[in-house]
Amino acid sequence: MNPPMSRKQQLLKRHRRNKRVGLLLALMVLVLLGVLVAWWLPLVLAVLGWVAHEAWFADHLFYSPKDDYQYNFPPFTQQPKVHLNAGRLRLDDGVILDDGATLVLGLQVKSAWLGRFFDPVVELSGGDCPDRQTFERGVNGLRYLNLSEQGPALSRGELRLRGRFCRLLGEPTLWSFTPPELKHRRVMVIAPHADDAELAAYGLYSRADEAWIVTLTAGEIEAEHYQQMGLDRVEAARLKGRLRAWDSIAVPRWAGVPQEHCVQLGYFCLQLAAMQAAPSQPQGSREADLSDTRPLRQLNPVVLPGDTDGAPTWNNLLADLRALLLMARPEVIVLPHPTLDPHPDHLCAHHAVRQALEGLEWQPGTVLGYANHLHDNDRWPMGDAGSGIALPPCFESAGPMEPVSLPLALADQRDKAMALGMMHDLQPRAPFKRRLRRGIQRLLAGRKGSVYGENEFFRKAVRRHELFWRL
């Protein structure tokens, strides 16, 4: 029996179906023009149409940019009164903001006509932390800016908002969220794959008094890059798994995390859901012809329950996690968000930690969720490397969502970029089609790549904020 499709798979299937229908209709029109006008006209129009598609319509956006984001924030969240007049955002007299609060501003953003071809941007100026936060082309709805670094400028009445390729409409609403204490805590980051901890939380764990990085899978699949070296499919997958297992242990040392706090559990990529469905049944690698986790755990500094038989089962995963939780006793756990991040391994990682905590004698004081992937928008966080992160699209808020924004200074951003650069999975060149698309978008749509690296995650993850959600 095939497992049910995730919401993202359903959206992608619908997108591809609509795209095929559109291509068929376009082909019929081109053939008709070739018959009625000139034989060469369809060729010219096809090339121009393809260039236009790559420049302006190739984003995987599975919702209308006119849809309002629908966040449900916790009841009794502070809502300091603000007003936007002539581009200046002002607090009501007597309003005092909490130091270090996560500040979120909801307002209507309406794209100008050029905003259908260039990314609409809201520029924040007037303080010591100028910022740019980017939204969807053609945006026309309720959006949420992250003002967490702008508190001092806002308190002084100096904060200015300016829309580029868009207009800011209506009366805004400000929410102020008291942040949890993170600096002087024992932190454990749960990474479904090597690089997830760095993408989501490098800044957070690099500042912690004590940090643990626990990586669940070896990430051995999709090893075509290594097959180009002359390896067959199995050899390439095994090499990639060994490299990513090494990354998960070695790269956190760049942030000062001791090796004895870095653990690779060696389960297999995209097999966690099958493990969860049959907890005692081993699920071997799809591509590496391995059914034993122990070869990928050789660098671990600790002995875990799953080392006994090396069986890739859900029961062993839970036993490993319980042992690590009792060993580390983390006060803060950082793990994938259960509704924002649709990757099946990320969802299973969340469920595994929650299940491992049930009835355990140690419980964390704070649990934070992150999203390295989204259901609806593959480009989020939108905008350039080094800019701020606005809140992601959200249309099915099952419960209250409480954001936690952690600012990253430029030096921290650079260190994070170097950590990502050490990750082998982010090093291979992108396929030619993707590089060509980016070149067209750079030329015609004004989009920039990241100075830190070619992989898209250098643009998406190296930002002036890291955004989490208190769970």
In the chain (471 residues long), the average pLDDT of successive 10-residue segments reads: 51 66 71 71 80 86 91 94 94 87 97 95 94 96 96 94 96 94 92 97 96 97 95 97 97 97 98 97 97 96 96 98 98 96 95 98 97 90 95 85 96 98 95 92 92 95 97 93
How far is Cα of residue 447 from the mean position of the Cα atoms in its chain?
19
pLDDT at residue 7, as a whole number: 57
The per-residue pLDDT for 3 is 44
Q: Among 106, 103, 122, 101, which Cα is nearest to 71's?
A: 106
- CA 105 to each of CA 108, 112, 230, 329: distance values in angstroms, whole numbers, following the listed order: 10, 21, 53, 36
Nearest CA-CA partner of 271 in 280, 284, 281, 258 = 284
C-alpha distances in Å from residue 469, one per residue of 80, 228, 466: 21, 40, 10
Residue type, 182: L
How far is the C-alpha of 218 from the C-alpha of 108, rounded, in Å?
43
Tokens of 309: 């038989």
Q: Supply the pTM of this predicted model.
A: 0.91
Going by C-alpha positions, the residue among 334, 325, 356, 294 that lies closest to residue 196 is 334
Q: How many CA atoms lie within 13 A of 53 on its CB side?
A: 13
Beta strands in 126-227 (DSSP E): 131-134, 140-146, 160-164, 166-177, 186-191, 210-217
Sign of CA dihedral 204, 206, 208, 213: positive
Nearest to 383 by CA among 440, 447, 464, 452: 447
Strand (E) or helix (H) holding 104? strand 102-111
For 216, phi then psi, to 5°, come to -85, -40
What is the structure's pLDDT at 1? 36
Q: Taking a C-beta distance cutoff of 8 angstroms, is the pair 261, 248 a contact? A: no
Beta-carbon contacts of residue 454 (< 8 Å; ≥ 6 apart): 429, 430, 435
Q: Residues of 398-409 as b/e, b for ≥16 C-beta within 10 angstroms? A: eeebbbbbbbbe
Q: Quick check: 361 and 326 in contact, CB under 8 A? A: yes
Quote the DSSP letter at residue 195: T
Segment (H or E) for 105: strand 102-111
371 residue type, one letter: A
The CA distance from 402 to 102, in Å, is 9
pLDDT in the model for residue 109: 97
Q: Which residue has the tokens 């990253």?
A: 408
Predicted confidence at residue 43, as pLDDT, reads 79
Query: Phi/psi of residue 129, each to 5°?
Result: -130, 65
Q: Tell the residue number behind the tokens 């053609």, with chain if given.
A: 138
Please state, in angstroms and rounded to a whole number, the distance separating the CA atoms of residues 153 and 253.
36
Q: Which residues are within 8 A (CB) of 462 and not within 5 positions of it... i.e. 6 or more apart? A: 385, 386, 413, 416, 417, 420, 450, 452
Print burial letters for 198-220: b (CB count within 10 Å at least 16), e (below 16): bbbbbbbbbbbebbbbbbbbbbb
Among 380, 459, 389, which residue's Cα sits nearest to residue 426?
459
* pLDDT score recorded for residue 101: 94
Which CATH number applies to 186-470: 3.10.20.30, 3.40.109.10, 3.40.50.10320, 2.60.120.200? Answer: 3.40.50.10320
